[in-house]
Amino acid sequence: MDSILKPALEKSITYAAYREMVSQLVAKSATTGKDQTEALVNYTKLNDRRMKRWDKTVKVSETIKEKISEFQNKITLLVLTESWCGDAAHIMPVINKVADLNDNIDYKVVLRDENPELMDAFLTNGGRSIPKLIMIDNTSGDVVNTFGPRPSEATHLVNVFKAAHGKLTPEFKEDLQQWYNKNKGQNIIEDLLGMLCELEASVCQ
């Protein structure tokens, strides 16, 4: 695994650099990846607006802030993504809010299609679903947990709908966007806190 993770980490960028890259792509009417279709370019533009909004509006409760600030392990949150991914636009700013609360948490970003070997090591139900967060212990270099492509509540909604209808419809995808807007990142924060607690139980006692 180290032979896959190390090169990805070496070429990873910060969330701030990722946000700047996406803004530059929007200015050029472009998107990440080789597939520069109008649809993907438009999704990138939409996602840039979404991330700007979440960067400003995501709130973390004082109780959770205190718990996250007590986390002692040094970890890296490495996220595989692409600028056109709708789920990523809702999730990545929230990860940033959590990482900003503790200097022991390093948040890095790589593009999925530039890292196929890494992506294929962290498939979801056999698919290259993004965003995919890989939690790495900085001391051992071990992968200690993963998250994605959606938070737990959204994953449940998707699984129930797929079980009933076989696939996700455009109408359901719109409903999922509304769920993200109403939840305001709180389920993502809870899931991330749960991952920290699994690594360091004292955080949640």
Question: b/e string for 139-174 if b means 16 or more Cβ within 10 A?
Answer: eeeebebebbbbbeebeeebeebeeeeeeeeeeeee
pTM, 2 dp:
0.96
- Long-range contacts formed by 55-58: CB under 8 A, 24+ apart: 55/19, 55/93, 55/96, 57/184, 58/93, 58/94, 58/97, 58/184, 58/185
For the cut 80, the answer to whether the pLDDT of residue 205 exceeds it is no
For the cut 80, the answer to whether the pLDDT of residue 88 exceeds it is yes
Cis before 93 (ω within 30): no
> What's the pLDDT at 204?
85
Helix, coil or strand: residue 127: strand
For the cut 90, the answer to whether the pLDDT of residue 202 exceeds it is no
Residue with tokens 């996700």: 168
Residue with tokens 């890494």: 118
Nearest Cα to 111, choosing from 3, 11, 2?
Answer: 11
Cis before 131 (ω within 30): yes
Quick: pLDDT tens for 114-135: 999 999 999 999 999 999 999 9
**CA–CA distances in Å: residue 16 to residues 88, 95, 111, 193:** 15, 12, 14, 22
